[in-house]
Amino acid sequence: MSDVEDIDEGEDKIRPEEQHIEGFSSDEEEEEPEGPQCPWGLKKKLIEEGDAERVYPKSQDEVSVHYVVQLKDGTQVYSTRQNNDGKPKTFVLENNPRDVVCGLDWGVQTMRKNEVAEFTVHPKLAYDDYGAPGVPKNATLCFKVELLGWVTKDDLFGDQRAVKTIVTEGLGEERAVEGQEVVLSWKLTSRGGKTLEERGNEEFTVGSPVFGPVSRVVSRAVTRMAEGERATVLLSRDCVPSDERRYAGATLELYLSRIFECRDVVLSGDKVLRMKVLKKGTGHHVARDAAHAKMLVESVTDGNVLLPGFSGPKILEFTIGDGEVCDALEIAVLTMKAGERSVVTSRRPALCSEPELGLTNVDARQVVWTVELQEVDEGTDTTKLSPENLAVFAAARKEVGTQLFKRGRHALALERFTKVTSLVDALEKNGQLEPQTLGLRRTCGLNAAACLLKTGDPHGAKAACDVVLSREPSHAKALYRRASAFLALSHYTAAAQDLNTILRQDSQNAEARALLAQVRVAQKQYAADAKAAASRMIASTALPPVAASVSSAGAEATTDPKTATLTKESARETQDGKTSPAGPTLLKRASSKFLTCAALPCGKV
């Protein structure tokens, strides 16, 4: 700030009669302003309200203001309208170094667009004891400021290497994250205005290196953009590798036209499906178990070409959860709303065999479905059922799970049993659990354990059995299935204990006897394998030649004082006359440790 100008009435919202200021401390009581508050040394007086939208500029934003500066006695020091050719002052908030005094910088951050305010600034937040042209030392200043607007800037890495500026605001609060897919248009222009590269409406996975040296910048910018936003990013020379200097000072123009909603679908603790929403559904809730659905299958590919035998596009009608379509569709539909169109990717071909579509033996690394849930009825809202009706519904869904298990649809059957268990838990929580419903939970817990054993999850099977045994410690089927889980986990002692408990109750239990025999065979084989592994480990340990001679002397050599005090020369002597780095200490340690270990049994498990 340097010169002074008069303010033209009618042009400036800051009127001459408002230019005189009182002392820094005012006796007038003022209401606490909304929004960001002024720090110590800065006092704000609102003159004219700004826009209704309560949005405020922040650090690194480029603001545009008109202002008048006065001393405490009313002497005008500077006015943008008179001393800046009538042009507003533009500066970057909290720039390093600052473009304006601290008091003005911080004050503007408390304002809304088109707001007019007066700020009384303590000398410490102005020119302190240095002063300036027209400003005495230790002078309190008054800034009367009109905020015309600002351009939002974002220092992407916090070091000025890449600064993003919003050109057009986007819509909504959703932001893309690493690994999410978006549709992006971009243009890279050199410092001299030459177009270096340009792409339009391409699908892009955030974090991928497809944009070469500027990929990291593009990904960071996209994660801070809303859908529909247009932005530019100014690249400094330090933002790109030394061998890509053509990018130094370049401008990156970005338009984020779409952020795809992506979600992972989990089954039995594993992410079995990846879904990308192409069109959002219109329903109020996702499809429910046992609801009737109508789904259009547009295509099934391996990611590039249609799978052999695919007979679609085709509409499939089915009852959700009954196993009338393949597991991939059964699992996906429970996350969809009516009208939703999605791309469903599965890396488990076994989940994707669907005879209705001509897909019987799917052989592909991944299977990519494009589907649309055209219709789905309301289904059964279990939260609104009476305890009696809920118990009936749960029993019916348990029977569906049993049939799925018999057909080998173990993953889908597990989902049914798990959901029924959660319904029973809800009844118990509300104190409405009937005795027959308690038996339903036990059955579903045991059946879930059987499914988990079939799908290769012995830890989950053990946990399911533990729940049943916590209420009925001697339940034979729960003990048997937990023993099966222990066997799969190589916990042979625990498996034998559960099976012996069963046999103490029923010594003629043929299944328990057969499984106990398997446990004993596995236990013996484990012990033999462990002993063999120990022998190989000992044999592979190279001993110095002197140690070998001690080994051939037998156990007496390990206790012979003469052996323990072998001279350095004899320890270093080798059969071919060369020297070995081993000394007496290594000889004693090797002979005592390895010979003793070799003499001990491997131990029982």
Question: What pLDDT was estimated at residue 53?
Answer: 82
Q: What angle do CA 152, 157, 163 make, to 5 degrees?
A: 35
* Number of domains present in the structure of the chain: 4
- Please indicate, yes or no, whether residues 497 and 392 belong to a single structural domain of this protein: yes
Question: What pLDDT was estimated at residue 545?
Answer: 58
412: burial class by Cβ within 10 Å (0-12, 13-18, 19+)? Answer: buried
Question: What pLDDT was estimated at residue 151?
Answer: 87
Q: What angle do CA 582, 583, 585 make, to 5 degrees?
A: 115
* CB-based contact 313:296 (threshold 8 Å): yes
Residue among 443, 404, 436 at smallest CA distance from 420: 443
- Please indicate, yes or no, whether residues 267 and 200 belong to a single structural domain of this protein: no
Question: What pLDDT was estimated at residue 154?
Answer: 85
Assess if residue 289 is contained within a domain. yes
Question: What pLDDT was estimated at residue 458?
Answer: 94
Last residue of a domain, one of 487, 520, 553: 520
Q: Which domain holds residue 223?
A: 162-259
- Please indicate, yes or no, whether residues 406 and 361 belong to a single structural domain of this protein: no
Q: Residue 459 carries which DSSP code?
A: H
Give the SS3 label for residue 228: coil
CATH number, position 450: 1.25.40.10
Mean pLDDT for back-to-back runs of 10 residues, the chain (605 residues):
37 40 44 75 93 86 94 92 89 87 94 95 93 92 95 85 88 89 93 89 91 90 94 85 78 94 80 90 87 95 92 93 93 93 92 92 92 92 86 92 94 92 82 72 94 93 95 94 95 95 94 95 91 86 54 45 42 42 41 36 31
Assess if residue 587 is contained within a domain. no
Distances (CA, A) of 347 to 139, 186, 221, 260, 342: 72, 32, 31, 20, 16
Assess if residue 454 is contained within a domain. yes
- Please indicate, yes or no, whether residues 427 and 490 belong to a single structural domain of this protein: yes
Last residue of a domain, one of 493, 520, 547: 520
CA 297, CA 292: separation in Å to the nearest integer?
Answer: 16
- Please indicate, yes or no, whether residues 195 and 99 belong to a single structural domain of this protein: no
User: What's the token pair of residue 131?
Assistant: 């002063």
* CB-based contact 115:46 (threshold 8 Å): yes
- Please indicate, yes or no, whether residues 207 and 225 belong to a single structural domain of this protein: yes
CA 142, CA 126: separation in Å to the nearest integer?
Answer: 10
Chain segment 391-413, per-residue pLDDT in tens: 889 999 999 999 999 999 998 99
- Please indicate, yes or no, whether residues 72 and 120 belong to a single structural domain of this protein: yes
User: What's the token pair of residue 417?
Assistant: 């049993």
Last residue of a domain, one of 346, 376, 406: 376
Residue among 410, 311, 413, 416 at smallest CA distance from 356: 311
Q: What angle do CA 510, 515, 516 make, to 5 degrees?
A: 95
CATH number, position 321: 3.10.50.40
Assess if residue 73 is contained within a domain. yes
CA 295, CA 324: separation in Å to the nearest integer?
Answer: 12
- Please indicate, yes or no, whether residues 270 and 359 belong to a single structural domain of this protein: yes
- Please indicate, yes or no, whether residues 272 and 328 belong to a single structural domain of this protein: yes
Q: What is the dihedral of CA 563, 566, 569, 573, to 10 degrees?
A: 20
Q: Residue 191 carries which DSSP code?
A: T
Assess if residue 600 is contained within a domain. no
Q: For 57, list phi and psi in degrees, rounded to 5.
A: -70, 155
- Please indicate, yes or no, whether residues 120 and 53 belong to a single structural domain of this protein: yes
Assess if residue 268 is contained within a domain. yes
DSSP 481-507: HHHHHHHHTT-HHHHHHHHHHHHHH-T
Chain segment 507-527, per-residue pLDDT in tens: 999 999 999 999 999 999 999
CA 343, CA 138: separation in Å to the nearest integer?
Answer: 67
Assess if residue 27 is contained within a domain. no
- Please indicate, yes or no, whether residues 510 and 405 belong to a single structural domain of this protein: yes
- Please indicate, yes or no, whether residues 355 and 392 belong to a single structural domain of this protein: no
Reported pTM: 0.63
Assess if residue 579 is contained within a domain. no
